[in-house]
Amino acid sequence: MKKVSFSVNGKRYEVELENNFAEFVMEKLEESNVSINKDNDIPKLLNIYLQALKQNYDTEREIEELLIKTSI
**pLDDT, tens digit (0-9, with 9 covering 90-100), for 7-25:** 998 999 999 999 999 999 9
Q: Yes or no: say if 40 and 34 are a contact pair by the CB < 8 Å rule.
A: yes
**Which domain range does residue 12 map to?**
2-70
CA torsion sign for 19, 40, 7, 15 is: negative
Structural domains in the chain (count): 1
Which residues are CB-contacts of 24 (< 8 A; sequence separation ≥ 6)?
none
* Three-class DSSP category at 47: helix
Q: Which residues of the chain have pLDDT under 50?
A: none
pLDDT at 72: 66
N residues, the chain: 72
pLDDT at 36: 84
